[in-house]
Amino acid sequence: MKRPEKGASELSHTLAIEPDTRGYRSCSHSATHIEFCAPGYIHYARVVCDRCGRFVDWLPKPSTVIRQKMIARRLALLGRSSELNPWEHRFVKDVSEKRKLSPRQEQKVDEIWSSHQKELGL
């Protein structure tokens, strides 16, 4: 008698552990609420679906949002300035294209801003 092929049994096992979602309608997470994380936790808050209770997204700290907006504004103003040296100009151009800056890059933006703030009349 021929043994069942190993490949076939592995496949059925894989299929068996897939969650059975038949009969369930997928949730669009149209209504959500915010759950704040414990102080000191890496994340500030999470957005959770009211209907299915699933995690939707992380919410950044308000101070982080303000800081990111401030950096973006400074980079926009520095990018238009003719007072920057070639290295500074290149750096501002490079980090302006990034979605997120490292703490060192943020610090460098602050330094360039501080040294040109007066020249820019700000």
Footprint of Zn ion on this chain (CB under 5 A)?
27, 29, 49, 51-52
> Which residue lies nearer to Zn ion by CB, 52 or 65?
52
Contact present, 96 and 79 (Cβ < 8 Å):
yes
Coil/strand/helix, residue 74: helix
Distance between CA atoms of residues 61 and 58, nearest Å: 10
> Which residue lies nearer to Zn ion by CB, 49 or 120?
49
> Which residue lies nearer to Zn ion by CB, 51 or 93?
51
Q: Could you tell me the end-to-end alpha-carbon distance of the chain, in angstroms, rounded to an integer?
A: 87
